[in-house]
Amino acid sequence: MIERGILGAVAVCIAATAALWLLAMPDEPVRALQDGLGAAALATIIAGAAARRSAE
């Protein structure tokens, strides 16, 4: 269950980073990657917290 949440968060962040890079910041791939990594970290923390709450 936890693995699915983490994999889902990573997949969404990869797709969002690619879309952000291609649509909004095509000249700034490093900044788009940094934003994507930050979003991935936040999504992973949220998914982990949600998994812990559902396990309790």
How many angstroms separate the CA atoms of 25 and 10, rounded? 20
- Tell me what pLDDT residue 19 has: 83
Distance CA(55)–CA(49), nearest Å, equals 10
31-46 confidence digits (pLDDT tens):
888 887 887 788 778 8
CA distance 11 to 15: 6
- For residue 28, what pLDDT is reported? 87
The angle that helices 29-55 and 2-19 make with each other, rounded to 10 degrees, is 160
Q: How confident is the model at residue 8 (pLDDT cuts 50, 70, 90)?
A: confident
Distance CA 55, CA 1 (A): 10
